Amino acid sequence: MKSPEAKPVDPLKRRIHTIIFEADTAAGKAFDVGLLILIILSIVVVMLESVVPIDQKYGHIFDVLEWVITALFTLEYILRIYSVGNPWKYIFSFYGIIDLLAVLPSYLSLFVQGSQYLMTIRAIRLLRVFRIFKLGNYLMESHILIQALRASRTKIIVFLGAVMTVVVVVGTTMYLVEGNAGSGFDSIPRSIYWAIVTVTTVGYGDIAPVTPLGQFLSATLMVMGYGVLAVPTGIVSVELAHADRQAKLNTISCPHCSREGHDEDADFCKFCGYKL
């Protein structure tokens, strides 16, 4: 999350840069809070527009609000490009693309109908919220979470691969068993959809087995899924405990070789044997 921009030299540019890109000054913080409120307001407007009775009553207010917010976001985007040291680097950075995608749908909606719903992509802009709390320990915590998820990546992929194979085999079997029972198992893809709904314990009930054999098979799948549900939890728990310990413990550095990462009960550096 290192800021991808170099600081500009021009005083006006620098001032705008401090306000827009940083959250350490009072003005910068106020700007960020205002931006967050605008983003949330914009998402609420898109949501309410989709509710037919509300839209019929307040539709014109929503239209005005929508264009005011889009204008402000466009201004912000232009100012960002203007004030940043290396504009192209910003434009193609993660946040740069998201900022552009936040204003594009409004302009597109003039030509293409329905594209205004793409505006919910603005929800991703809410990630900026973490910048305000930068001084707090939220960043560290989210860093631990991401590290734990990254460390469990290979295990989760292996696990999901195994689950997917089971889901395909069970889905096909259920199609053969329940296909003619009129219970919704109309095709193999739909049966696989049912198997996923079941194994994740969501269980809508829009498709449910009615034959005794189908019910027996799905009960077996559930009990299996029940035991198996434990596996990703176990994986993440273990990695989280590990990441947490890492974050908490790497404080002592060896006075001889300056290396870190020693265990809590270590008396001697594990790399050079020097007494800690």
Residues 152-191 within binding reach of a second copy (CB under 8 A):
154-161, 163, 165, 168-169, 172, 175-176, 186-190
Q: Which of 200, 250, 255, 258: binder of a second copy (CB under 8 A)? A: 200
Q: Are 184 and 208 in contact (CB under 8 A)?
A: yes
Q: Which of 89, 117, 213, 250: binder of a second copy (CB under 8 A)? A: 117
The binding track of 51-70 with respect to a second copy, each residue x by CB under 8 A or -, is xx------------------
Which phi and psi angles does 182 have, rounded to 5°?
65, 25
Q: Which of 30, 27, 23, 16 is nearest to 1 (CA)?
A: 23
Q: Which of 18, 74, 120, 147: binder of a second copy (CB under 8 A)? A: 120
Site for a second copy in 29-48 (CB under 8 A): 43, 46-48
Q: Are 144 and 247 in contact (CB under 8 A)?
A: yes
Which CB atom, from 46 or from 69, has the smaller least distance to a second copy? 46
**Residue 216 contacts a second copy per CB under 8 A:** yes
Report the Cα–Cα distance between both ends of the chain, in Å, rounded.
34
Q: Please count the residues of this chain forming the interface with a second copy, following the rule CB under 8 A.
A: 98
Q: Which of 25, 86, 201, 250: binder of a second copy (CB under 8 A)? A: 201
Q: How many helices (H) does the chain have, and how many strands (E)?
A: 11, 0
Which CB atom, from 71 or from 223, has the smaller least distance to a second copy? 223
- Which residues make Cβ contacts (< 8 Å) with residue 1, sequence separation at least 6? 130, 139
Q: Which of 109, 138, 211, 252: binder of a second copy (CB under 8 A)? A: 138
Query: What is Dmax (Cα atoms) for the chain?
Result: 78
Which CB atom, from 81 or from 168, has the smaller least distance to a second copy? 168
**Residue 80 contacts a second copy per CB under 8 A:** no
The binding track of 219-258 with respect to a second copy, each residue x by CB under 8 A or -, is x--xx-xxx-xxxxxxxxxxxxx--x--------------
**Residue 203 contacts a second copy per CB under 8 A:** yes
Which phi and psi angles does 19 have, rounded to 5°?
-70, -45
Q: Which of 38, 81, 91, 121: binder of a second copy (CB under 8 A)? A: 121
What SS3 class is residue 8? coil
CA atoms within 13 A on the CB side of 180: 1
Distances (CA, A) of 129 to 100, 123, 193: 18, 11, 36
Residue with tokens 């005083």: 11
For the CB of residue 221, give the shortest distance to a second copy in the complex, in Å: 9
Return d(Cα 148, Cα 241) in angstroms, integer: 8
